[in-house]
Amino acid sequence: MSRPQGPFSNTAFNSLPIELNKAIVHYLDNDKDIATYRLICRSTNDAIDADRQSFWRAKFREKYDFLEGTPNNQLRRMYQRRSKLLRCGTKYGFFRGHGKTEARVVKMLKDLIIESFQGATETDEHGRFRCRNHAHLIQFILESRLLNNDRRPPIVRRGEPAHVDETLAAVKLICSQFIFNLPGIEHNIFAFDESQFAVYQSTTEAPIFLDNYKKVNLEWVLHSMNFFRHHMMNEEAQTLFYKIDELYATLKPSPWREPLRQGAYTLSRYWKGTYAFLDHSEVQRLRKQGPGHEIYIDKNVDEGKIQSLELVFAQPAHLSNRRPLTWPALFESRLHSLLPSTSAQPLKTQARHCPKQSQNIQFEGTGQDLDDEYRALGWLNALPPQGGIPGWQRITFMKHFSDDYQDPDQDNLWAYEGVVMPGGRMILGRWWFASESVATQLDYNGPFILWAVDEPEMDGEEEEEE
């Protein structure tokens, strides 16, 4: 009976200096080739595993964003585990994320997100910062079914959890920021009826925040992402696809560009976005029917409408020109923006000298929606990590058309509440008519999306007349 063979001793590599064997292995990009090279002979084995396993530190830094202070033997295990999960993890469906091995893949993706931008960065052709972990996440998105499923979620079997695992939902949402400028991925949302139903549910039935505003309803936010992905990226929807497609790359939604950080932090100045609505009667009928009965025509997006918004953040209660910001009691009664500070624990990836961020940040803004110029006044609130990932914030603001904050005009108020994605470059949430105080189970509402852009374009996006 044959025994497994270890490294041979009579090969040409044994006569080479270890420095040369090390140089050779650093030219091997394929993990399978590295494993084969390690087994050739004692010298090739030492080139990889000797010298306190320094090869694995160098290889890890070459391939992934690097977290300082991690021992070499741990980096070796992490490297090998990631290589295996990135290769084998593409076979899973990622519908609800409760399988043990599937959960390991999701945790690995979570780690790639959390450790992104730890170390050297580079820029793409448009000057946007990118990192090594971004490249692995993009490759996995393209090769897997994480965001590219070909069917609806399967029926929940008896004894199985019906909800989407929190970490999977968080990973899906964060990775979805890549898809708006990513060739080679399909955008078929096979359960669009469920997403459409979810985004028009009342605040009572589907609150965005739970547990005293500490926990995000990630499944609702995921439905909102799928809703806008359908309209913005699916050509067959005949809504926003061509409008998004013709935008310059720097004006399209894009992923985070810096290390994730905990606490409240200011956002980009310039934003684009859109929202959808149904008629009052359609909203009530959809809520009574439930999903699967009828697909409604979402207004505003059906005409390819995109709005612009410019935000200025107060530091801490004054703008840069020292003008103080106020906060009308009427706005607070509708939005409940002034929340108790949430404890923000520093991340292990953050430098110890980083100053502690304020937990609530006020801002004002101006925007253009169709032919109307509007104002926005609101707040950012820090949130705890969601799905084990830091960097989430709650945003609330009142969209209004008067600058008299002592006696605000109540005839045309629109409240906005949403979730700022980690990295601060995308917001998903709900708007509702706020001129009247109504029970939350009867509110007239709909979904909205905002994304940060690099250029101050405030043109109103009017269609050209022929």
Q: Which of 184-193, 354-363, 383-392 is predicted least confidently?
A: 354-363
Higher pLDDT, 167 or 25: 167
- pLDDT digit string, tens, across residues 227-270: 999 999 999 999 999 999 999 999 999 999 999 999 999 999 99
pTM, entire model: 0.88
Tell me the one-letter amino acid at 37: Y
Tokens of 49: 């595993």
Place of tokens 């560009």: 257
Q: What is the mean pLDDT of the chain?
A: 87
Distance CA 15, CA 274 (A): 67
The type of residue at 210 is L
CA–CA distance from 242 to each of 239, 245, 455, 465 (Å)?
8, 5, 20, 17
Q: How buried is 206 (Cβ within 10 angstroms: 0-12 exposed, 13-18 middle, 19+ buried)?
A: middle
Domain locations along the chain: 172-466
Distance CA 7, CA 282 (A): 72
pLDDT tens, position by position, 163-177: 999 999 999 999 999
Largest CA distance in the chain: 91
Q: Which residue has the tokens 């979402």?
A: 298
| Between residues 342 and 32, the one the model is more confident about | 32
Residue-wise burial string across 208-222, b where 16 or more C-beta atoms lie within 10 A, e elsewhere: bbeeebeebbbebbb
Cβ atoms 238, 247 nearer than 8 A: no
What's the confidence (pLDDT) of residue 49? 76
Q: Across the strands, what pairs with 93?
A: none
Question: What is the C-alpha to C-alpha distance for residues 273 and 428, in angstroms, rounded to an integer?
Answer: 10
Place 318 in a pLDDT band, splitting at 50, 70 and 90.
low
pLDDT at 35 over 60: yes
Q: How confident is the model at residue 359 (pLDDT cuts 50, 70, 90)?
A: confident
Which pLDDT tens digit goes with each residue over 219-228?
999 999 999 9
Instruction: Work out the average pLDDT over 198-213.
Output: 96
Comparing 103 with 76, the larger pLDDT belongs to 103
Q: What sign does the dihedral 361-366-367-372 (CA atoms) show?
A: positive
Q: How far is CA 465 from the centre of its chain?
A: 37
